[in-house]
Amino acid sequence: MELNNTILVTGAAGFIGSNFVLEWLRSEQAKVITLDKLTYAGNLRNLASIAGNPRHEFVRGDICDEQLVADLLKSHCPRAIVHFAAESHVDRSIKSPAEFVHTNVQGTLNLLQKSHQFWLELPEQQRTNFRFLHVSTDEVYGSLGPEETAFTEQTPYAPNSPYAASKASSDHLVRAWHHTYGFPTVTTNCSNNYGPYQFPEKLIPLILLNALEGKPLPIYGDGMNIRDWLYVEDHCEGIRMALATGRPGETYNIGGNNERTNLEVVTSICDLLDELLPDAKIGHRRNLMTYVNDRPGHDRRYAIDASKIQKELGWTSRTRFDHGIRKTVEWYLANMEWVDEVRSGAYHEWLQLNYRER
């Protein structure tokens, strides 16, 4: 058994996963096998532009399915797994934590076990060419105070939500498989992503679409929670570099160096829409901002120190927030058919469940 010039991407119909696959096929030569369960946040329309590409094959399935994962590895012999598949919305994790543990912990465990077994069956000289890249989040590090230095790869884990705890657990499993079994893993921890194809329960598309329709713009607490915003295409480039030249067993933080309060993000979207698509009936969209009860355990600030990946691999974020948010708003305005499809009845039911009590 020998490795093929193929990679397996899990969670490939989701927001970041689909952006990664699209960029990969533009930039690389390896074939891509995409695996996605197609839950509420997975959308095949994200991959519609590559439906006929001979270097792409989509498989619908669950990363917790042991036989499916084993069969995919045996039949395609990929040289790498890029693992995006995860439940990722903090509010949903507060309502349904068991689903997050099942997918994020049990699913990652299954991938590790099956890919490790596959790796052991490779000829010894080929094992050094295989990689398991695990995509994680800065939320595993907890919350920063206003004057604290940014998260580094040495920051102790302190997850504060069921989502963050499940991702921290998966990170620890990936680390253990390297240190115990010598399995060639690489982990990346990113800051808040934004850009095309993001499911509209997250802050930026939620605010954007509500503002378009003149609906209230819900802002948790005082709106002063700070996040480091990373344009998704920059993130995907960082992952490709970590996969290509990252050292096995290492973790690389990928951040945008764009700290903004939630209030700053919301007002920037309002102002862009007033510029690009003014509506006399709605008026100034900042007037739609509505403060609601804060999320339980809401982390105050995240910030990423990405100096390690910059020094070792040469990656740095290239998109300033003001440029990236304009591109994002313009993409949604140009793709309202995609928006209408993903905002199904189940999506509206979720909004009612999450915001009704606030």
Query: How does DSSP assign 15-48, residue by residue?
Result: HHHHHHHHHHHHH--SEEEEEE---TT--GGGGG
pLDDT digits (tens, 9 = 90+) for 96-128: 899 999 999 999 999 999 999 999 999 998 999
Distances (CA, A) of 74 to 66, 116, 175, 197: 12, 12, 24, 31
Q: Does residue 202 register a pLDDT over 70?
A: yes
Measured at the alpha carbon of residue 224, what is the angle toward residues 251 and 192, in degrees to the nearest 5?
30
pLDDT digits (tens, 9 = 90+) for 126-150: 999 999 999 999 999 999 999 999 9
Token output for 331: 């993409």
**pLDDT of 349:** 52
User: Contact at 8 Å (CB) between 99 and 87?
Assistant: yes
Is the model's pLDDT at 282 over the cut of 60? Answer: yes
Q: Band of the pLDDT at 343, cuts 50, 70, 90?
A: confident
Confidence of residue 95 (pLDDT cuts 50, 70, 90): confident
Q: What stretch of H or E contains 292? A: strand 289-292
Q: Element (H or E) spanning 188, and its range?
A: strand 185-190
Q: What is the largest CA-CA distance in the chain?
A: 68
The per-type count for the chain, helices as H runs and strands as E runs, is 14, 12
Give me the catalytic one of 36, 62, 91, 139.
139
Poorest-pLDDT segment among 20-24, 168-172, 293-297, 315-319: 293-297
Residue tagged active-site, from 87, 91, 138, 201: 138
pLDDT of 356 higher than 60: no
What is the predicted pLDDT for the residue at 350? Answer: 40
Catalytic residue among 141, 163, 194, 332: 163
Mean pLDDT of 336-344: 84
CA 229-234-237 angle, to 5 degrees, is 145
9 forms bridges with which residues in the sheet?
34, 82
Spatial separation of the C-alpha atoms in residues 89 and 340, rounded to whole Å: 20
Q: Compute the distance between CA of residue 90 and CA of residue 295 in angstroms, rounded to an integer.
A: 9
What integer best gives the mean pLDDT of the chain?
94
Residues of the chain with pLDDT > 70, as a percent, come to 96
Over the stretch 297-314, which tens digit does the pLDDT of each residue have?
Answer: 888 999 999 999 999 999
- What is the rounded average pLDDT of the residues 214-226? 95
When pLDDT is averaged across residues 234-263 and rounded to a whole number, the result is 98
pLDDT for 354 beyond 60: no
Residue 139 falls in the annotated catalytic set = yes
Best CA proximity match to 110, nearest among 59, 64, 156: 64
What pLDDT does residue 265 have? Answer: 98
**pLDDT of 348:** 45
Q: Is 28 labeled as catalytic in the residue annotation? A: no
The whole-angstrom separation of Cα 339 and Cα 257 is 29
**29 with 22: CB under 8 angstroms?**
no
